[in-house]
Structure 1
């Protein structure tokens, strides 16, 4: 078979939307699966449905390894096949789309002069990025004359300086890294580099006045290259695509910025699930507390009850009822967005958990559950107590399940070893060393002693949870029930 390109696509009789020629209006730092399955998908749909008429140039922000993705992307003329799949409106859905929004791919370390030349492009208006959580950092060793600078904020400062010297307008910058206030953090570090490099005051004012640094919230699981299915899909398509991408059908992009962005970024006309707001934090709260909080509340107890993947939990009547109680009765009432908005999101979350194309293992979600419980579940528990003056039953039980899951006996280099009470199989608890050492050192404590030590551990929670009225007694009772009758019975007790 031939490699995917525009000619091959024509020969394969593909009848979907394709945009072969358009000006490059988007520069994207990051060429990985996520951006191609999320941002570039949205741009492709805007090209089709709202005449956005924009191509994207990708920039690999790090040196290439043995697998030269840049070369493969360019050989395929930027084309790749995206499959979005999941459970939607009660049905199994799988959509195929050839994405034609990417023009080419450059590598910052091989093509830096070419990257800087793009600063002269008058059509260029948007910069998107996802350089991982570690990408937006301040590195004082970076210098203006580096080719390129090591960190992404320093590279962006170099690019913006080249743009300013052309006396051209600035950019709408859409940061997609998974850190708090990603856009504002990026702007802060760019300004710091400009000052440290003693660049002109006029340039610094241009950064602040002519560029919009948008903090954004991205929400879609992108599962990437379907290694096990690739040969079958290529045969079905009639071409070889080495950059196949897959993701869930659900997707939401929340962009914090002025409403004027909508005039240039036509997501409304394209019917896309993009929300433009002056404050993205309530939406982040909704995602963290409902989606991530539901995961963390459910997975440890479900694992101790013998389950292994998220999807199967959704078809267990006890676990699903427990999860629904946690979400609809205990988490949603504590959130700032409207009840209707939160319940609509929660319904989508339930369908995402049922995704037949993703085997999301409970044990993989359990990684670092101490920090996850603090960030994702504890705020809902505290908010519920403050609002209603009583404990939320399901969330309290999730804390008991967390303690039961973490009771291991043998600390090894891999983690803390424990035995599943239902399957009788060994599993490995993975968390920060201090957390694992705490549980290993207290493995022989009584339930009463252990619950007291865990709840009062301010290093875990940032406060003494044992001071919350009745919480210690409730968690102890739940932990005893887990030991006596099992985690399933503890969840059942929440919904009876």
Structure 2
């Protein structure tokens, strides 16, 4: 079977959209599944729908990477977006043709820097994982290349400054997609720290600030990557060998915090794409964390104790799905600030996303580090509800009891805290060692004692939750009910 490339598609008589030649206007640090199913997908559609006419040159941020494989296929790969949309099962296929090539900076450092001398290059996108945006003072300007991503970016920006520093408008729009708060601003801080550490001069520092726009962004799409178990059958159906097949959910949403003029430069709105350019991305991030992630954290531990194993099956259970929806619509949405129509629309998409027939989203995988997740994703909604109504949110309070019940293990091992479901099968709770040790130390506590110990643990919550009127007693009551009737009946009672 012939490998995917332009010649192979031409032989097949492929009639889908392709852009073989265009200037490289985008440099992307990161060649992995997420960026290729998200940023490159949106740029490919911009090219088709608005004549954006841009190729993306990829730079793999770490060694080893996918550079050789990408170049063998001339940057082409097949993307499948699969899931539920408007109540219907969707399996969309698209050959992505916006990628020109991929560079390996550990072998082709000079070629990477040469991109900085391309006058048409305007945008830099990146997703180097949460750990990628970090200032490492051991990096030196003379490293080939610098080990950290911000170090590499600083080297690249300095090359640009040397070439075009005297011309206005030759800086970059930098789109940071890492999953940390204020990702763009944090990246800019790291770059400025290197500029100072390496004594690159005030003129360069001023150029960074004046000519470059570091955009914080919110990205939202589950990307499932290379479908290992299906790949052979998919290639047989496609009629070509594609070693870079990528898969993700249909839903995709990108919020870019930047100046108004970016809307003309990046005409996502004109193309009808779900990309918002605005002056503050935080309300959208709050919406995602509170509704999508908060819903996960609120129901999965109880659902697992009730006998479920994957998210999709939970959506087919009217009690569990009803509990999740009541949490979202009655207890989370009233605490948020975006227009209600936007919140309701996003909430309805969550249920469809959780029903995705192509993703077996394991409840135990979601349960990882639930202590910090409950604090970050659920507690703000809980406190917002109490502040607004003067009452305890029933479902969120019950979710705290599910959390305690799930973490009530009897055997601490190197892998985690071993507990068991009412049906008898064992599972392993995974969290920070200090958290697991705490629950192990309290393994013999009765419901009231355990609830008080968890609520009053300021190391977990940065405050004493037992001081919230009625909360501790309500949680202890739910915990007793879980022990007596089971998590499923407690969810039913909440409805």
TM-score between both structures, scaled by the size of structure 2: 0.99
For residue 13 of structure 1, report the CA deviation from its aligned partner.
2.4
What residue in structure 1 maps to residue 172 of structure 2? Answer: 171
For 2:202 and 2:454, locate their aligned partners in 1 and report how far apart those are by CA, in whole Å.
Answer: 53
Q: For the Cα contact (< 8 Å) 2:174–2:184, is it kept in 1?
A: yes
Alpha-carbon distance in structure 2 between the residues aligned to 1:309 and 1:14: 38
**Equivalent residue number for residue 351 of structure 2:** 350
Please list, as runs of the form range in 1=range in 2, the aligned pairs for 1:95-494 lying within 5 A after superposition: 95-167=92-164, 169-421=170-422, 423-494=423-494
State the SS of the aligned residue for 1:221.
coil
CA–CA distance in 1 between the matches of 2:473 and 2:106?
59
Say which SS state the counterpart of residue 390 (structure 1) adopts.
coil
Number of matched residues? 491
Name the CA distance, whole Å, in 1 between partners of 2:5 and 2:340.
Answer: 47
Q: Is the 8 A contact 1:78 1:100 kept in 2?
A: yes
Aligned partner of 1:57 in structure 2 is 57
State the shift of 1:253 in Å.
0.3
Q: CA deviation at 1:270?
A: 1.1
Q: Which residue of 2 aligns with 1:36?
A: 36
Q: Distance in 1 between matches of 2:257 and 2:433?
A: 37
SS of the residue 2:130 aligns to: coil
Classify the secondary structure of the residue corresponding to 2:7.
helix
- SS of the aligned residue for 1:225 comes to coil
Q: State the distance in 2 between where 1:14 and 1:89 align.
A: 29
Question: 1:459, 1:15 → 2: CA distance?
Answer: 59
**How many Å separate the matches in 1 of 2:470 and 2:493?**
17
Give the superposed CA RMSD: 0.7
Are the equivalent residues in 2 in contact too, given 1:173–1:211 (CA < 8 A)? yes
Residue-by-residue CA offset, 1:465-489 (whole Å, 9 max, x unaligned): 0011100111011111111111011
In structure 1, what is the Cα distance between the partners aligned to 2:400 and 2:424? 22
Moved segments of 4+, more than 3 Å:
none
- State the SS of the aligned residue for 1:474: helix
Unpaired runs of at least 5, structure 1: none
- Gaps spanning 5+ residues in structure 2: where? none
Shift of 1:108: 1.3
Map of 2:72 onto structure 1: 75
Question: Could you report, residue by residue, the CA deviation over 1:149-179 in whole angstroms, capped at 9, with x for unpaired residues?
Answer: 1101011000000001112510000000000
Deviation at 1:15, TM superposition (A): 1.7
CA distance in 1, matches of 2:11, 2:421: 55
Structure 1, residues 102-125: CA drift from partner, whole Å, max 9, x if none? Answer: 000001111110000111101100
Partner of 2:81 in structure 1?
84
Q: Does the residue aligned with 1:141 lie in a helix, a strand or coil? A: coil
Residues 202-254 of structure 1, C-alpha deviations (whole Å, 9 max, x = no match): 11111000000000000000000000010011000000000000000000000
1:12 deviates by 2.0
Q: CA deviation at 1:16?
A: 1.0
The SS at the match of 2:244 is coil
Distance in 2 separating the partners of 1:303 and 1:139 = 41
8 A Cα contact 1:12 1:237, kept in partner: no
Aligned mates of 1:304, 1:200 — CA distance in 2? 59
| 1:345 alignment partner, SS class | helix
1:338, CA displacement in angstroms?
Answer: 1.4
Distance 2:147 2:27 in 1: 18
Task: Provide the secondary structure at the position in 2 that maps to 1:268.
Answer: coil
User: Which digits, 9 at most, give the CA deviation of each residue in 1:122-147, with x for residues without a partner?
Assistant: 11000000000000000111111111
Shift of 1:266: 1.3
Contact 2:269/2:276 (8 A) holds in 1 = no
SS at the partner of 2:270? helix
